Homo-oligomer: A and B are copies of this chain.
Amino acid sequence: MRIGEVAERVGVTQRTIRYYEERGLLGHGGDGRTKGTHRVYTEADVARLQELLRLRDLLALTLEDLAELAEAEEARAALRGEWEESTSDAQRLRIVDASTALLEQQLGLVRSRREKLDAFADELETKLARLQQRRDELSAGSGTRARRAARTNP
A contact set with B: CB distance below 8 Å = 54, 57-58, 60, 80, 83-84, 89, 92-93, 96-97, 99-100, 103-104, 106-107, 110-111, 113-114, 116-118, 120-121, 124-125, 127-128, 131-132, 134-135, 138-139, 141, 147, 150, 153-154
Contacts and interface: CB of A to CB of B under 8 A. Distances in A.
B150 A89 contact: yes
A101 to B, nearest CB: 10
Contacts of A103: 124, 127-128, 131
Given A134-B96, A138-B89, A121 B114 contact: yes
A58 B117 contact: yes
A54 B21 CA distance: 32
Contact of A132 (B54, B100, B121): B100
A18 to B, nearest CB: 23
Given A80-B153, A138-B92, A131 B100 contact: yes
**A-B residue pairs, 6 tightest by C-beta:** A83-B153, A107-B124, A114-B117, A89-B141, A110-B121, A100-B131
A120 B128 contact: no
Contacts of A132: 100
A128 B100 contact: yes
Contacts of A120: 54, 58, 110
A54 B116 CA distance: 9
A93 B125 contact: no
A97 B138 CA distance: 11
A50 to B, nearest CB: 12
